[in-house]
Chains A and B, each alone.
Chain A
Amino acid sequence: METEVQSESEASLIEALKRRDSTAYQKAVRDYSPGMLAVARFYLDHSSAEEVVQDCWVTVIDAVQKFEGRSGLKTWLHRIVANRCKNRLRAANREVATDFSETLEPELANRFNSTGRWDLPPKLQFHESADTLLENGALSDCLDKHLSSLPETQRSALMLYEAHQHKSDDVCNILDVSASNLRVLLHRARQKIFLMVETFQETGEC
């Protein structure tokens, strides 16, 4: 997990953003926008989410002057996006609808018998090294496809936690979910990816 301590490169990027260096903005936009978009997509549809991320970057130009580095730059940017999205939803009187009632994906739940033992246990053992798995371009494409079809709430939680390596507390704060609900979101999303990789390994098909 990444710590909140700023690296030297992050500190110099922040200084450059404060100086309003346009090259620094171009780099920051490329480094941080995917994560910001993942946060916004938790709350909003695709085009509204893109709009919010664009607006946030304009806000950042002034707001970064007061950035004191109490959190990392990434966490700070993600919070700005989340707050803006929450304001939008409040203005529209909408809330994010999420089902936290089931911890098991139906497809996995059906693989146990009535005594709670496996009826259809996992047959193959996945290769442990992620890098080795990802060398298979078709699997990587399949992963992209499945990630994009996850419910936005699960995808955002998964992206922030796994890919952008936020701590649980930060993800809860940014997405405004309780710790127990975050656990459900993450577990449901991981199960879907597990089922996808399993099918891919067994059949070679996505």
Chain B
Amino acid sequence: MLMCRDLAEIASDYIDGELNGRQNLSVKIHLMMCKDCRTFIGNLRASSNLLSAHSSGKADEEFLRRIDERVAEALSVRKNNGSDSE
């Protein structure tokens, strides 16, 4: 029988639909009977949604400006050479 700890171990696989039919069924049966695990799965799913909605990582403006400079320099070299390859 699936215990709460077993369910916690495979909770992300359940959320992402990565479990096989049998495992998926045993999680569903456990969730029907266990309020704590329903809360846990709901909260883990909310954490996952939170990450998707959160900014997808920020790069600092100084770093981006350095890239702009490198790219601008490389573009101008290619423009002056008038060729598609270096």
| A binding-site residues for B, Cβ under 8 Å | 20, 22, 25-26, 29-30, 33-35, 37-38, 50, 53-54, 57-58, 61-62, 65, 103-104, 108-109, 112, 115-118, 121-122, 124-131, 133-134, 140, 143, 147, 158-159, 162-165, 168, 183, 186-187, 190-191, 193-194, 197-198
Question: Which residue on B lies nearest to A105, using beta carbons?
Answer: B8
Query: Which one of A29, A129, A147 has the highest number of Cβ atoms from chain B below 10 Å of its Cβ?
Result: A29
Are A25's CB and B75's CB within 8 A? Answer: yes
Q: How far is the CB of B5 from chain A (nearest CB, A)?
A: 4
The distance from the CB of A49 to the nearest CB of chain B, in whole angstroms, is: 10
Distance between A14 CB and nearest chain B CB, rounded to angstroms = 15
Contact A53 B67 (CB under 8 A): yes
Given A125-B43, A134-B54, A197-B47, A33-B63 contact (CB < 8 Å): yes
Say whether A164 contacts B56, CB under 8 Å.
yes
Q: Tell me whether chain B's interface is mostly helix, strand or loop, or mixed.
A: helix
A-B contact pairs, 26 of them (CB 8 A): A20-B75, A20-B79, A22-B72, A29-B71, A50-B63, A57-B71, A61-B74, A62-B78, A62-B86, A65-B84, A65-B85, A104-B5, A109-B5, A112-B5, A115-B3, A116-B6, A121-B36, A122-B40, A130-B46, A134-B50, A143-B50, A163-B51, A183-B13, A186-B12, A191-B44, A193-B48
User: In the complex, which residues of chain A have a beta carbon less than 8 angstroms from the beta carbon of B74?
Assistant: 58, 61
Count of A-B residue pairs with CB < 8 Å: 159
A33 to B55 Cα, complex, angstroms: 13
Rounded to whole Å, the gap between the CB of A187 and the closest CB of chain B is 4
Complex CA distance for A202 and B72, rounded to whole angstroms: 50
Interface string of B6-28 (1 = CB under 8 A from A): 10111111001010000000000
Beyond contacts A126-B42, A128-B42, A186-B16: 16 other A-B pairs, Cβ-Cβ < 8 A, are A22-B71, A25-B72, A30-B64, A50-B63, A54-B70, A62-B85, A65-B84, A112-B4, A117-B3, A118-B40, A124-B39, A124-B43, A162-B48, A164-B57, A183-B12, A190-B48
Does B59 reach chain A (CB closer than 8 Å)? yes
- The smallest beta-carbon distance between B35 and chain A, in angstroms, is 8
Contact call B53/A134, Cβ cutoff below 8 A:
yes
CB-CB < 8 A to B36: which residues of A?
Answer: 118, 121-122
Contact B9 A61 (CB under 8 A): no
Q: Hey, which bits of chain B sit against chain A, CB under 8 A?
A: 3-6, 8-13, 16, 18, 36-37, 39-40, 42-44, 46-59, 63-64, 66-68, 70-72, 74-75, 78-79, 84-86
